[in-house]
Amino acid sequence: MKLHWSPRSPYVRKVMIAAHELGLAGRLDCVRSLAAMATPNPAIMQDNPLSKIPALVLDDGQVLIDSSVIVEYLDDLAGGRLVPVGTARWEAFSRQALANGLLDLLILWRNERDKPEARQTAAWLDAFAVKVGATLDRFEQMMPGMAAKPFDIGHIAVGCALSYADFRFADLGWRTGRPELTEWHVGFAARPSVLATGIVDA
């Protein structure tokens, strides 16, 4: 299976963590693919016209896009360990959606923050800060229940979003006032699948 991959992408990292958790990492042929909002990449677009990564090309040519879809596919392939059943399933999916939304916000925030000051929209910057803060608070409120659940697709997304905040928003101080989320993230960061997939600016 060919994976459009980058060591910088938190969405790709979700897929890589799942692959390691499921024992499937060796089956992925990771192809370095440069995805940037302002620069459509024809090599990616052959497989994903949105020019976004991750995109997974299966051996029969079928293409799966979106990190959550790909993680669910890998879980299915491995016999299902990361997607719970029953009520826990909807909890995990909701947690994943919230974390994906947090990642989307952080990326938009970074794009805006990195513009020359004269071109920044102050109202957007303020709104990003408010929404990111509220989402982090919600994760703190989800403790200790979230920490007690077996590791699932939602935990992967939350951990990747927090680690991305460390990577691109070191000054955000997301740990302040969120002791339980902080403690949970220490455990997340120590997992072999997470250690094997560190995000780097390369």
197 contributes a contact to ligand GSH by CB under 6 A:
no
52 contributes a contact to ligand GSH by CB under 6 A:
yes
| Angle, helices 67-77/10-22, rounded to nearest 10 degrees | 10
Query: How far apart are the C-alpha atoms of 187 and 44, rounded to whole Å?
Result: 34
Nearest-CA neighbor of 70 among 83, 89, 60? 83
160 contributes a contact to ligand GSH by CB under 6 A:
no
Q: Which stretch binds ligand GSH (CB under 6 A): 22-30, 48-56, 113-121, 136-144?
A: 48-56
Distance (Å) of CA 58 to CA 55, 107, 150, 194 = 10, 28, 29, 24
- Identity of the residue, 51 or 135, whose beta carbon is nearer to ligand GSH in the bound complex: 51
**Least distance in Å: CB of 156 to ligand GSH?**
11
**Least distance in Å: CB of 33 to ligand GSH?**
8
Query: How far apart are the C-alpha atoms of 33 and 14, rounded to whole Å?
Result: 16
35 contributes a contact to ligand GSH by CB under 6 A:
yes
Nearest-CA neighbor of 49 among 39, 58, 37, 41? 41
**Least distance in Å: CB of 83 to ligand GSH?**
16
168 contributes a contact to ligand GSH by CB under 6 A:
no
Binding site for ligand GSH (CB under 6 A): 9, 11, 35-37, 51-54, 66-68, 100
